[in-house]
Amino acid sequence: MKVLLSGYNLDSSTIDELKQRSGWTKDNITPETLSAAYARISRDPRDIEELRKEAREEVDKSRKSNETIIFGLGHASVAEHAYFNFDIIGLSRFAVEQVQKFRMASFTEKSQRYITLEDDFVVPDEIKEAGFEKRFIELVKFQNENYHILYKALQQYLFDKHSEMISTKNGKRTVDGWAKEDARYVVSMATESQFGMSINARSLENMLRQLRNSDLFECRELSQKLYDLVKDISPSIIKYIEPTEYDKTNNLRIKEYAGNLKIKSTKKITNEVELIDYTPEPDKKIAEIILSSLGGLSSAEAKESVNGFDDVKLQEFYRTVFDKRTQHDPLKRYFEFADATFDLVVSSSNYAQLKRHRVASMLTSDYDVSLGFTLPENIKIIGMESKFNELMRITDKFYSELKSSLPYHAQYVLTNAHRRQLKLKMNFREIYHFMSLRLDEHAQWDIKNTAEKMLKDLVKIAPYSTMMCCGKSEFLNKSKKIFE
């Protein structure tokens, strides 16, 4: 066996420095050569090391090969071998939501929970063109002023409440973070963010096309800036960045069709969490999959066998399945064969964390002031509920006025406390991962509340396959109760 390191990410400044030092003039420092070399593996008998060498030395030939294989033959996965890293600075929190919905990418974002905000915000071109710039800036500055007022008040209250913790290592920083995470609920979605993004070429091309079709100028501008950075480095693997007719018209056609049905909703949304669909008898379904894949039974035999399991037998079965598992062991893939779908109503702060679970299926609606807003309990305790509510009232009033001219872009002025509806579908393996993070003792309270309500519904339909579903911090106690 021979294993070679064929390449790895380098900071672009390091690449430039190395080229300058060596006087490098060849046009072969591009991730396209890896894509071209790997594309030839299936049809060329030579060692891959030799294929990579040839691809580096003959870049033009590599590019023609990429175009033929990726776009001619349709083997787009070849483009996934090329990888890019980007710093994205100054995009609004609202626009960030559109970027970070893409599954096949990695993001690490500046946290409003740990960093004191400095009042940086985006004034969207659409707001300027509609003549609302002055009032928009006034409102956002007013929201930011209240953020600092709330932060100081919350900080004082929490420092007094957790005085013993303040004296421990990292204790002061942790408690200070709690003050920031509650104060940020009054900050608008126009607030600037920054994040690092890592993405392969195939996914980047898809992202560029979708962002170009966005209603937000910010996203369209980002698409162009990203493309400008990669077009000369990798012209053979990122080509089709313009939205198709399907991209541009599909949602509009569906909305028109739905409107023509003339069906009006009469049900008022009241539940923050509602389980709306799930795999029938998920405990038995997962057991059936396990027995047919590991127990030497056919699917029909496994199904018949599991149908004969009573509650005692099911509990015994899942104790065997979970035996010896630690909080560091990922759940096995057979848990992916059962899933659950929820209707959720969540704040923007809550959604900022939910969107990180990109393996799940998630569909969002626009933010909706009729859904109300989420008020942190600590703001009630420090006696600033009325101040918070007044800010929400002022924000909602301007939003309603802005919405008449800019129905979509009016959402920029809404805060982290405002809410939206979303549909969330997770298989049970992803549910375990979600709960381990969001029920942990370090989890943020808003998303933790959502996770608790979700798990409460799940336990009713799947008491045994969810028996070890908990936060990381609770795993050992849970394990002792079940196995000892």
Length of the chain: 484
Element (H, E) at 361: strand 361-367
What's the CA gap between 123 and 34, in Å, rounded?
Answer: 41
Residue 126 CB neighbour total at 10 angstroms: 18
Per-residue confidence (pLDDT) for residue 67, from 0 to 100: 74
The pTM score is 0.91
Per-residue confidence (pLDDT) for residue 137, from 0 to 100: 98
User: To which residue do tokens 């096995």 refer?
Assistant: 332
Per-residue confidence (pLDDT) for residue 170, from 0 to 100: 84
Q: Please state the domain count of the chain.
A: 2
Per-residue confidence (pLDDT) for residue 3, from 0 to 100: 72
Asked if residue 242 is part of any domain, the answer here is: no
Asked if residue 234 is part of any domain, the answer here is: no
**55: exposed, middle or buried (Cβ count in 10 Å: 0-12, 13-18, 19+):** buried
What's the CA gap between 410 and 118, in Å, rounded?
Answer: 23
Per-residue confidence (pLDDT) for residue 332, from 0 to 100: 95
**334, 293 Cβ separation under 8 angstroms:** yes
User: How is residue 210 annotated by DSSP?
Assistant: H
- Cα–Cα–Cα angle for 191, 192, 193, rounded to 5 degrees: 120
The residue among 81, 109, 127 that closes a domain is 81
**355, 362 Cβ separation under 8 angstroms:** yes
Domain carrying residue 317: 280-335
Q: Concatenate the DSSP letters of all residues of 110-165 into one string.
A: --TTTS-----B---HHHHHTT-HHHHHHHHHHHHHHHHHHHHHHHHHHHHHTHHH
**35, 201 Cβ separation under 8 angstroms:** yes
Asked if residue 24 is part of any domain, the answer here is: yes
Asked if residue 219 is part of any domain, the answer here is: no
Per-residue confidence (pLDDT) for residue 37, from 0 to 100: 80
What's the CA gap between 387 and 14, in Å, rounded?
Answer: 51
For 240-301, the three-class secondary structure string (H helix, E strand, C coil) is CCCCCHHHHHHHHHHHHHHHHCCCCCCCCCCCCEEEEEECCCHHHHHHHHHHHHHCCCCHHH
Asked if residue 73 is part of any domain, the answer here is: yes
Asked if residue 218 is part of any domain, the answer here is: no
**104, 79 Cβ separation under 8 angstroms:** no
**197, 85 Cβ separation under 8 angstroms:** yes
User: To which residue do tokens 């949304």 refer?
Assistant: 269
Q: Which amino acid is at 166?
A: I
Per-residue confidence (pLDDT) for residue 7, from 0 to 100: 75
- pLDDT string in tens for the chain (484-residue length): 677 777 778 888 998 898 888 888 777 788 888 888 887 777 778 888 888 888 788 878 777 777 777 777 677 787 788 888 999 999 999 999 999 999 999 999 988 777 788 889 999 999 999 999 999 999 999 999 999 999 999 999 999 999 988 888 788 989 999 999 999 999 999 999 999 999 988 999 999 999 999 999 999 999 999 999 999 888 888 888 999 999 999 999 998 998 898 888 777 777 899 999 999 999 999 999 999 999 889 999 999 999 999 999 999 999 999 999 999 999 999 999 999 999 999 999 999 999 999 999 999 999 999 999 999 999 999 999 999 999 999 999 999 999 999 999 999 999 999 999 999 999 999 999 999 999 999 999 999 999 999 999 999 999 999 999 999 999 999 999 988 7
Per-residue confidence (pLDDT) for residue 288, from 0 to 100: 97
Asked if residue 77 is part of any domain, the answer here is: yes
Asked if residue 406 is part of any domain, the answer here is: no
**424, 341 Cβ separation under 8 angstroms:** yes
The residue among 42, 64, 81 that closes a domain is 81
**Quick one: which of 207, 74, 154 has its CA closest to 383?**
154
